[in-house]
A and B are shown apart, each in its own frame.
Chain A
């Protein structure tokens, strides 16, 4: 199998880069934790990688809004390099802060089709403060909504932890949300532990099932090609069974389900 090169792109304040790179490597990738300063010095180096992953953390402290400064670097100096990357048959994954960055840069949900974003375009959506007003770390159950997402192949439902303050997805208007749903851009939704096969409808689920009040219970967005994914939950925190909060009850052993997300990315290049 080919060994895809993964760029785990970190900025000041990124803090999930080590374990995210480790998760890719466990699945046979060769990942490098690259500082965004290197990429800013030499944007062309992005072409060397098959996968770009923006991991979790607090890039630039999230001080003026989660992911805002990092997203400006992507849409600004790195805009052309990123455009080439999106056009190629490559994968882009944003986890938690990485999702915030992808959304605020305008890479999601449009992907290559809307890149680079015109300067005057009003943002289509944002990730803003959780309904409970505070940083919240809790495990959630998720359902895959997009059949086209490369990363989510073979995943129907999965448990993962979220840990964020600004994870509530708000669309510009109701039409935008409906468009995501009809175009298959809703990659993952928070779902009820008890409901089967999505019968809870589209009502916003209560905490902790929907931990932040996201519209349409959306936990992650895909682009139309399925090669770009942004999600608030952390698959890299479920690479061993012993990370599941119920592992001692259910006698879980071996790999964690979250590893599938990374394996799907690696196998795409097989």
Chain B
């Protein structure tokens, strides 16, 4: 029997879901929808009778203080009483096979009550006024109630009598007649089979099997496609590239190795015995030294394509996936914090301007935040750092970067799997979810992606992963396994393939635990079902490991054995379903050779935009060009410019997001993401103490500025590194021990100019990392971030994202008690500008809010910057600095405003005494790199000034600009002696807080 337990808020209480739907309906213009009532329901398939279901509903499924429930039996021809007088009923259910955590927990709880069930599902129910137009119902149902990538909508009373999943599976070995295929057929096979390999690669596979004189099985073909996918092999960036720009031509054998990795090698050579890198670019995460007992590892991943289709699940499994990276690094690391960076289109994008197949950016943003929140918070890992960037070009292809930092004992950093070790799967079961994620993420998004690749979208279960993490770390400390990796993209195929690369492996697919019956051997092999890890376990340790897992309710299963055969053998029962040479799998891929061209964007002076929607820097010339920067206000005052920059999306407060993340669990919080007298100012970086018994700290920060990429990807990359590093330094991290990570999200690199911009950014990564002594320890790239669709006129349109390089920095503090926050502390203290301001307004937020284009993009002085970082650090360490804030978007004016309103204090600055030469606009708003504002305790000014480092020209770039005041005004006197800014800090804070203060 199939029962439905329908649960509604009590009559006198607010129906929050209904309130939300009404608001969404107004935003969607579905004005005929006037009233909504909602309920949640459980569908329970069981032999149990009504009395048992009552018992379950009564206080277990429903909270009787605030909810009422009703129970009815469903049938295939249901005309149940749930059809209420004169309203239309809309039911939203997850599609079959999508993870339903609430239903799974309900099943466990019902079992504890002695009620066994065949299946449980959850459903959301909405009754809308019956005269809602069909159009409006459809619009609201599809845009606000359900996402058809994972959910289904059923109208009217439910007519169901079973929700059980699964079917019988009859083994049938499939082979693919690749040997007789011509190029056209190979291309079709690659595309329709969702292998996403190019023709040369398909020809190589064909040739391999011609030589073997047999056809491949489907499992073999899938294994090769997954191993050779861009997602797993990074074949483009780690491949051969011929690059040329205006100044040089260069051929790379392995571009990443010769730029980013090489910077790290160079730094390690230079450090010699003081090298603090432990394991870089070879494991799932990079590992560096922390103290004598513990090392720290970090990884940042992207989950862009799944997040475009189903943002909640995409972000949810994005964070879940990146947490498994450190868990699968070395012999397993303990996660201590998360970092998340998102790129969206502006949230006020009109609904009717959306291309087909795209979700509204505000819907995407809210769901992405919820996805990260629900996974990170449940895992008990504080989310301490992040950023959000907005640009129209992220409309069809939002970016979701998720990172994790974890601690690992210094003697657990290396893996050591041996032939004879058992292959053990731990954690979640395998289902049909997430098939083809690895190959899908390597392709371009189109309006059809939603239907084609829905299976690649999943919902995670954080509690399963938390349970897995708990037993793994216990098993690690008991030395029960010799190696570990995570099941990410490619599932078992990727995990076992990588672990067994140097020896060989045999896998018994029929032994893998399944969520439901009916999966083929190939589906089991390539499923990317979440929350699974693969271990290499010496047979002697199996019993103990199994008992440990069982004791905490974690499933562990032997699924194969590592063997010294050099082959990857898959069996289903007695049948061999794949037998590939590891050598072909890992080294057989034909080298990808690509052209990369960088054409410099001609420099133009800062001037009014020439109209149109072209991004800055791409217009050929600027008719209104004049050498004078434009100030649109017409007044000598800049209060309004400051307010508009504070209210711009990239700069404004992200408190709405931050407060939904648990940023203090694990009890290590030192500098929170929001700081200041009212706990609402924007911190530069987070500081945590990751070990409860140590006062040593970690600082986590990021840097990114896609706007600079429109001018020059070299200086964009340099600026991103500078920003990430200075954010860490601003809170007290030692600039001589900062590790950085690169995450490239780019468009389609088959186009030489797209790849050219990426290579150019990589060249900057090398130069700047070496100059700063900040090694890259890990990184990841996500290419093909483009969205294609047919516009209203039937024209094919492609929108590529702007080049988006995220730099994440992981710094360290000897003692967290020396950390500094950015809020002004005491009236009377002196405020100094550290670093040099140039007239670098290109890509600035001043240009953005005033619709200007052209100008010089900010550069980094590679000689001067490290000395500035070291000086700031030494002042902080000596206790001279009361507050410190880095200068980034919006420049000096915005940093000053933020420090003032965060501290609830006024600030009086005088630019007239500035030793540098730019005009007021540049002094206020230029975004020149390597700059800080520091507040120095009044009595320590002499100490501070006496401690300025000497430089070759005797001019260390420090300028006293003014004083902290009590009057609550930000007052700035310009170079001509006139007051150019005089603004109330409460007003400044209000405009900064407003734009993203969502409900």
Contacts and interface: CB of A to CB of B under 8 A. Distances in A.
Nearest to B461: A61
Given A13-B378, A60-B105, A237-B667, A135 B63 contact: no
Interface in A227-242: 234, 236-237, 239-240, 242
Nearest to B826: A249
Interface in A125-139: 125-126, 128-129, 132-139
A72 B816 CA distance: 42
Interface in B651-670: 658-667, 669-670
Nearest to B670: A242
A123 B59 contact: yes
Contact of B112 (A73, A239, A253): A73
Interface string A190-208: 0000000000000000000
* Size class of the A contact interface (CB-based, 8 Å): 35 or more
B109 A128 contact: no
B791 interface: no
Contact of A161 (B63, B664, B999): B664
Contacts of B467: 12-13
Given A16-B665, A35-B551, A163-B665, 8 more contacts: A63-B106, A64-B61, A72-B113, A136-B660, A138-B659, A242-B819, A243-B667, A245-B674
Contacts of B377: 58, 135, 163
Given A12-B553, A63-B106, A248-B821, A234 B660 contact: no
A248 B675 contact: yes
B105 A163 contact: no
B551 A22 contact: no
Interface string B109-129: 100110000000000000000
A37 interface: yes
Interface in B625-661: 658-661
B106 A242 contact: no
A15 B380 contact: yes
B675 A128 contact: no
Nearest to B112: A72
Nearest to A69: B109
Contacts of B380: 15-16, 57
A18 interface: yes
A interface: dominant SS: mixed
A240 B674 CA distance: 18
A57 B380 CA distance: 7
A16 B825 CA distance: 33
A59 to B, nearest CB: 9
Contacts of A237: 664-665, 667, 669
A116 interface: no
Nearest to A20: B667
A122 B64 contact: yes
B553 A37 contact: yes
Contacts of B660: 134-137
Contacts of A12: 463, 466-467, 552-553
Interface string A25-49: 0000000000101100000000000
A61 B109 contact: no
Contacts of A154: none
A139 B667 contact: no
A73 B461 CA distance: 22
Interface in A106-135: 122-123, 125-126, 128-129, 132-135
A68 to B, nearest CB: 6
A79 interface: no
A186 interface: no
B592 interface: no
A13 B112 contact: no
A163 B662 contact: yes
B65 A170 contact: yes
A265 B62 CA distance: 35
Interface string A1-28: 0000000000011011011001100000
A57 B470 CA distance: 14
Nearest to B370: A134
A240 B679 CA distance: 18
B205 interface: no
Interface string A46-76: 0000000000111011011100110011001
Given A12-B553, A248-B821, A126 B666 contact: no
B65 A172 contact: yes
Contacts of B989: none
Contacts of A172: 65
Contacts of B692: 18-19, 22
B745 interface: no
Nearest to B882: A248
Contacts of B60: 64, 68, 72
Contact of A58 (B20, B378, B663, B903): B378
A182 interface: no
B16 interface: yes
16 contacts: A12-B553, A13-B463, A15-B665, A60-B108, A61-B102, A64-B106, A68-B60, A123-B65, A128-B66, A135-B662, A137-B659, A237-B667, A243-B664, A246-B677, A248-B819, A249-B821
Given A22-B667, A69-B105, A69-B112, A58 B463 contact: yes
Contact of A242 (B659, B661, B817): B817
Nearest to A15: B380
Interface string B681-707: 000000001001000000000000000
B105 A64 contact: yes
B800 interface: no
A64 B69 CA distance: 14
A15 B670 contact: no
Ordered nearest first, which 10 A-B pairs have the shortest CB separation? A15-B380, A63-B105, A19-B667, A126-B65, A13-B463, A61-B463, A63-B102, A248-B821, A163-B662, A58-B378
B312 to A, nearest CB: 14
Contact of B675 (A19, A239, A245): A245
B101 interface: yes
A129 B16 contact: yes
A136 B377 CA distance: 11
A133 B16 contact: yes
Nearest to A176: B65
Contacts of A236: 667
A219 to B, nearest CB: 17
B462 A137 contact: no
A213 to B, nearest CB: 10
A250 to B, nearest CB: 10
Contacts of A240: 689
Contact of B462 (A35, A61, A122, A132): A61
Given A12-B552, A58-B378, A137 B675 contact: no
Contact of A37 (B20, B552, B670): B552
B765 interface: no
B233 interface: no
B101 A163 contact: no
A208 B940 CA distance: 37
Nearest to A59: B463
B150 to A, nearest CB: 17
Contacts of B661: 137
A64 B675 contact: no
A170 to B, nearest CB: 6
B101 A170 contact: no
B63 A65 contact: yes
Interface in B341-389: 373, 377-380
B496 to A, nearest CB: 27
A246 B681 CA distance: 12
A253 B879 CA distance: 14
A74 to B, nearest CB: 12
A161 to B, nearest CB: 5
Contacts of A13: 378, 463, 466-467
A163 B667 CA distance: 12
Contacts of B819: 242, 248
A64 B111 CA distance: 14
A178 B572 CA distance: 66
Contacts of A68: 60, 109
